[in-house]
Amino acid sequence: VFVSGALPGEKVVARIWHNAANFSRGDLVRVIVPSPHRVQPRCDLFGECGGCQYQNLAYPQQLEWKQRQVAEAFERLGGIKTRSTPAPLAQAVRLPLQDHSPHS
């Protein structure tokens, strides 16, 4: 179940709005048992604009989660092993993606 606003390992109440064969999607109603890595988002628009989806997760855990998601996607979709370099700052960073693969 993918629940917007919930963090890995949390126990939550969610309103499910989509069921597929292998997964469901839902909206967070309330957190029952929070993650020890849950933090207060810095942006007042967190949860509304979608620009900073992991702002409620401590930065070291954000890095782990994002690196795992990217690595799993590249492996699953293209059989490509990846390594990543974290941004030097936790806030206000936008970096362009450059493709250095021989496939471009």
Confidence (pTM): 0.70
pLDDT digits (tens, 9 = 90+) for 44-101: 888 887 778 888 999 999 989 888 988 999 999 988 888 777 776 666 666 566 677 6
Please name the residue ranges forming H helices in the chain: 59-78
C-alpha triplet 40, 42, 45: angle, nearest 5°: 105
Within a 10 A sphere around the Cβ of 72, how many other Cβ atoms? Answer: 11
Domain range annotation of the chain: 1-35, 37-86
